[in-house]
């Protein structure tokens, strides 16, 4: 860790433990359309970016009902219940250790900017981050573009920044913006998928200090 000048964190699934809520909400959408529910394991096997593609894999017919309609319904449910989620075990300690070592930290998320800022404040984590960067829409197409802008702001050279996430898209984003990457299992995608993507995968936040 000492080689890095800045750590960029993903939010959903990496810092915030919201996987079960996400599955519960998508199952409500499926139930309302006469579809069978999916398990957490199935969710982790099919979840991906852009989220529109994951909706297709989950069984929604986007030729009959626009993704925007489904996405808005999902987001409305999430916003009502999101603060019932806890943080990933060990994440507060990890944030504190990195901060005390003098390394800067930011959040880069496919979550909408306004709700992201509010959520970070709600969980008392604002003090750890110099920048919070989310999207300007609710449909989570991906975060490479805002990641590139963040890297321009930071001004660090290749190899001086580490991105910590929980999905293949976090690895893709890191590669696109010139950051190193480590992924943490137990988030929105299975460990098997993350390892197949070629990522360095930790079992949990407890493994971060050793890394």
Rounded mean pLDDT of the chain?
Answer: 93
Name the pLDDT band for 210 (thresholds 50, 70, 90): confident
Three-state secondary structure call for residue 16: strand
User: What confidence tens digit (pLDDT) does each residue in 54-91 have?
Assistant: 999 999 999 999 999 999 999 999 999 999 999 999 99
Percent of the chain surpassing pLDDT 70: 97
Three-state secondary structure call for residue 8: strand
Q: Give the residue, 202 or 211, on which the prediction is more confident.
A: 202
Range name among 7-21, 84-98, 126-140 with the lowest pLDDT average: 126-140
Average pLDDT over residues 144-172: 94
Token pair of 120 as six digits: 């970070």
Residues forming beta bridges with residue 8, ordered by sequence position: 106, 163
H helices present in the chain, as ranges:
19-31, 40-46, 51-57, 67-81, 91-100, 113-122, 144-154, 168-177, 191-196
Name the pLDDT band for 184 (thresholds 50, 70, 90): very high
Question: What pLDDT sits at residue 137?
Answer: 60
Residue 164 pLDDT > 60: yes
Place of tokens 């936040």: 205
Residues with Cβ within 8 Å of 88's Cβ and at least 6 positions away in sequence, in order, are 14, 15, 16, 17, 184, 186, 187, 204, 205
Sign of the dihedral defined by the CA atoms of residues 71, 79, 24, 189, in that order:
positive
User: What confidence tens digit (pLDDT) does each residue in 44-64 have?
Assistant: 999 998 898 999 999 999 999
| Interatomic CA distance for residues 110 and 132, integer angstroms | 11
Residue 109 pLDDT > 60: yes
Residue 138 pLDDT > 70: no
Average pLDDT over residues 19-35: 97
């Amino acid at each position: 860790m000492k080689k890095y000048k800045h750590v960029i964190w993903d939010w959903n699934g990496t810092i915030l433990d919201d996987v079960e809520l996400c599955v519960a909400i998508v199952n409500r959408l499926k139930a309302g359309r006469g579809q069978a529910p999916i398990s957490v394991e199935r969710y982790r096997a099919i979840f991906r970016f852009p989220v529109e593609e994951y909706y297709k894999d989950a069984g929604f017919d986007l030729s009959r009902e626009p993704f925007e309609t489904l996405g808005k319904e999902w987001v409305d449910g999430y916003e009502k219940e999101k603060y019932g989620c806890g943080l990933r075990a060990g994440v507060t300690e990890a944030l504190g250790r990195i901060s005390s070592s003098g390394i800067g930290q930011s959040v880069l998320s496919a979550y909408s900017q306004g709700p992201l800022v509010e959520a970070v404040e709600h969980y008392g984590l604002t003090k750890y981050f110099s920048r919070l960067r989310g999207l300007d829409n609710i449909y989570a197409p991906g975060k490479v573009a805002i990641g590139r802008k963040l890297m321009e702001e930071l001004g660090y050279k290749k190899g001086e920044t580490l991105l910590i996430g929980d999905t293949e898209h976090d690895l893709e984003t890191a590669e696109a913006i010139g950051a190193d990457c480590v992924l943490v299992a137990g988030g929105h995608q299975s460990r098997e998928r993350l390892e197949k993507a070629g990522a360095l995968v930790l079992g949990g936040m407890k493994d971060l200090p050793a890394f």
